[in-house]
Chains A and B, each alone.
Chain A
Amino acid sequence: MSKPLTRDDVLSASQALPAFPRVIQQIVATLEDPDANLNLLVSHVEHDPALTGHILSMANKAGTRRYGNSNIDDVFTAISLMGLSRVREVAIMISIAEVFEERQPQTVQNFFWHHSVAVGVCCVELAHFSRAPVNVDTALIAGLLHDVGQLWLQRFEPLRFKQAIDDANLRNVDIVVAEREKFGVDHGEIGAWLANHWGLSPEIGVAISHHHKPEAASSAPLVAVAHVAEVLCTALALTKGIQGSVTDISSACCATLGLEWGDGSHQLFGRVEARNRQAAILFDH
């Protein structure tokens, strides 16, 4: 192993990335505010022209497709139609997509983004489905960002990262093992450094850090959600064009979420697939 990557290496290189979208923190802040209302969310959304365009587009797809109404052209009406929770979800996805889009080859963007959205929506459904106290929007953010450390490696250490992937495939070991040998850290740890640097809730950083190896933090509901979501996405082959391999699932994480793989599982699987299709239209230009 050459010189191990440090937190400082990662954060100083990440200055070359676009700033983390402020609207995410603003939206998350509204979750904790019982007085947060439609007007506040409208105000946050309207400060971001790209986000406004997406929200209006979504509202028009959802509403006027079958009504034949005149176009919805104001954010207030769009949010009224879609609902606060759906708009928050869309805003989070669109804003994080901007981080992924910057300066990545198209194929890399596509793979990471499809996979991240699949894990993100799976996190949302697990948050709904499980008995554990997990905030749905926090779960979505953790899912969308769970592999952001790999995106960093792809962007700033492309050759060594490819070697790590090839090595993991050749030896049939988990990618985090190969990353640790190559870089001294794995993508979970790198992702957690970035999430913490961006001021996201510490529980998101912990979930990103432990999503491959959750044993040390499996009692944390968000860690359990992120871990199980990634396994489920692989099991259901939700990342377009990728046939992954399920190797581990933490029984402790399943217990934390009150998940028993039985009769109710098909409902969860079906909802995850449907929500994944629903998310795909966001990026269907």
Chain B
Amino acid sequence: MRNRIKYIPTFEATVGMVLAEAAQDRFLRNILPSGHRISEENLHQLIAHQVELICISAPDLRSDEEIASAASSSAKRVLDTFEHADLSDPVMSALFNQVLTYRSA
């Protein structure tokens, strides 16, 4: 089973979610470690420490065909967005590549 990494606002967190990165407060102090499965008590902890965003790892339930189709649609949208960009510029090209791989994941 593949997993997808996703950032979410803390208010969307639910019991059982697995952290893909350590949950940090705004002073970058680790509140919960990477790989930790969130419990009811952890939800209280995240709010108490005013953690705004967390990164979770969730099972990707899509079939291979669905994944390929979604990646293809996303890639087309990114190509359209960068249609008038000068991709010979190294900075623009690097940004384009990162957006493309991000959207294709």
Contact surface of A with B, Cβ cutoff 8 Å: 61-63, 65-67, 81-83, 85-86, 172, 231, 234-237, 243-249, 251, 254, 260-262, 265-267, 269-271, 273-275, 277-278, 281
Q: Digitize B1-26: 1 where CB-to-A-CB distance is under 8 Å, 0 elsewhere.
A: 00001111111100000000100001
B38-93, CB < 8 A from A: 43-44, 47, 50, 52-53, 55, 77-78, 80-86, 89-92
Contact B91 A269 (CB under 8 A): no
Most buried by A among B5, B10, B102: B102
Q: Return the 6 tightest CB-CB contacts between A and B, nearest first.
A: A270-B7, A261-B94, A83-B50, A278-B9, A274-B7, A265-B98
Contact B85 A277 (CB under 8 A): no
- Give the residue of B6, B11, B26 whose beta carbon is less than 8 angstroms from that of A61: B11
CA distance A278 to B50 in the complex (A): 13
CA distance A82 to B46 in the complex (A): 11
Contact A235 B53 (CB under 8 A): no
B44: which A residues are within 8 A, CB to CB? 67
A61: which B residues are within 8 A, CB to CB? 11
CA distance A261 to B84 in the complex (A): 19
- Give the residue of B5, B7, B11, B78 whose beta carbon is less than 8 angstroms from that of A65: B11
CA distance A6 to B77 in the complex (A): 40
Q: How far is the CB of A66 from chain B (nearest CB, A)?
A: 6
- Give the residue of A234, A254, A281 whose beta carbon is less than 8 angstroms from that of B91: A254
B85: which A residues are within 8 A, CB to CB? 245-248
- Give the residue of A62, A65, A266 whose beta carbon is less than 8 angstroms from that of B98: A266
B89: which A residues are within 8 A, CB to CB? 249, 251
B99 within 8 A of A: yes
Contact surface of B with A, Cβ cutoff 8 Å: 5-12, 21, 26, 43-44, 47, 50, 52-53, 55, 77-78, 80-86, 89-92, 94-99, 101-102, 105
Contact A270 B5 (CB under 8 A): yes
B90: which A residues are within 8 A, CB to CB? 251
B84: which A residues are within 8 A, CB to CB? 172, 245-247
Knowing that A62-B10, A243-B80, A281-B11 touch, tell me 6 more A-B residue pairs with CB under 8 angstroms. A62-B47, A67-B44, A85-B26, A246-B82, A248-B92, A281-B9
- List 30 A-B residue pairs with CB atoms under 8 Å apart, sorted by A's residue number: A62-B10, A62-B47, A81-B47, A82-B50, A83-B50, A235-B81, A236-B99, A243-B77, A245-B81, A245-B83, A245-B84, A247-B84, A247-B85, A248-B92, A249-B95, A260-B94, A261-B91, A261-B98, A262-B98, A265-B95, A269-B99, A270-B6, A270-B7, A271-B7, A273-B7, A274-B9, A275-B53, A277-B8, A277-B12, A278-B53
Residue of B nearest to A61 (CB): B11
Residue of B nearest to A266 (CB): B102
